[in-house]
Amino acid sequence: MEGSVDQYAVVGHPVAHSLSPFIHSLFARQTGQSLSYRLMDVPPERFTEQVYEFFATGGRGLNVTLPHKTRALTIAHELTERARLAGAVNTLAARRDGSLLGDNTDGAGLVQDLTANLGVPVRGRSILLIGAGGAARGVMAPLLALGPQRIVISNRTAERAMALAVVFAGLGAVEGCGFGELGAQPFDLIVNATSASLTGELPGVPATVFGPQTLCYDMAYGRADTPFVRWARTLGCREAVPGWGMLVEQAAESFRLWRGVRPLTAPVLAALTGRPSAGG
C-alpha cells in the first residue's frame, strides 16, 4: 500500500498488558522513525498461521512473548547464535528475501541493564541464578560471556537446574542444584529468573546466600516492588532491583535489529518507572 508505514507487533496470549507498544512508540518518536506497533493476541494453535499471515501482508517485525517463544524458534528460517543458545526467540525480523530471522534479545537486555545502567561488575564475580525455565536459559550465554567466576543455577526442581548446567558447561564454570544444597556463602550477584513473583511468591532459597555486598536482580517488575525485591532488601543486601531496565533494553535491541539504530533507553526507562532520567 502506497504511503503505508512499516508494521510491527508483539504477539502473545494474553498480551493486553504488554508495555511493548508504549516502549516502541517512544523509540520511534525519539529516532524519528515512522512505524506502527500493535498488540496481537494469538492462541498457541493459531500462532504459526497468524505469524506467516502478518509477514505475508507486509509486517516487518514481531516481538514474541509468552507462551510462544519456543514455537517461534521453529518457524524462523534462520536463527542468531544467541537465539539458538537461549532455545527461544523473542524477536522475528523479515529480511529482504522474505525469510524470517529469529533472534533473542532478552539476555543482552539483562546484561546491558546490569553493566551499562547499574554499573554492576560481573567479571570474576559469583552469580546465583534462581530458576531453570525459559527465562533462566535465555540469559545464561550472555552472562557467561562476561566472564563470571561461576554461575550456580538453583531451582525448586533440582533436576532442571542440573540439566541446564550441563547445556552450558562448555561456556564456563556452571553448577546446578536444588535450593537445599545452597551453602552459607553469599553471592556477589543473585538473579531471580523464576516466575514466582508473578503469583506473589518467593523462591525458597536460604537467606544465607544474601550478603551485605550482594546485588539482587528480579527479572520480574511491577508497579509496586516485587516480593523478591522487598525480601532481598529486608535481608540487608547492597541493592535490589526489579527488571524494568531489562524490559527496555531487550526492546532497544529488537528495535536496533529492525531499524538499524539503537534508541536511547534512559528516557524510556524514566517514563516507565517515573524516575528522572540522567540529564533530565
Give me the least distance between CB of 124 and ligand ATR, in Å please. 26
Of all residues in the shown chain, the one whose CB is closest to ligand ATR is: 133
User: For the packed helices 266-273 and 20-31, what is the interaxial angle rounded to 10 degrees?
Assistant: 140
Distance between CA 148 and CA 43 in Å, rounded? Answer: 39
- Closest to ligand ATR by CB, 7 or 63: 63
Distance between CA 186 and CA 140 in Å, rounded? Answer: 20
Distance between CA 138 and CA 89 in Å, rounded? Answer: 9
Distance between CA 173 and CA 169 in Å, rounded? Answer: 6
- Closest to ligand ATR by CB, 132 or 191: 132
The residues that touch ligand ATR, with contacts defined as CB under 6 A, are 131-136, 155-157, 160, 194-196, 201, 203
Give me the least distance between CB of 180 and ligand ATR, in Å please. 13
Give me the least distance between CB of 138 and ligand ATR, in Å please. 8
Q: CA-based angle 231:235:240, to the nearest 5? A: 60
Give me the least distance between CB of 157 and ligand ATR, in Å please. 3
Q: Which residues does the annotation mark as catalytic? A: 69
Residue from 254, 259, 250, 267 nearest 109 by CA: 250
- Closest to ligand ATR by CB, 61 or 227: 227
- Closest to ligand ATR by CB, 28 or 129: 129
The partner residues of 13 in beta bridges, in order of sequence, read none
- Quick one: cell of 20? 511493548
In this structure, is the dihedral angle defined by the CA atoms of residues 203, 165, 242 and 240, taken in order, positive or negative? Answer: positive
- Closest to ligand ATR by CB, 138 or 263: 138
Are the C-beta atoms of 26 and 267 separated by less than 8 Å? Answer: yes
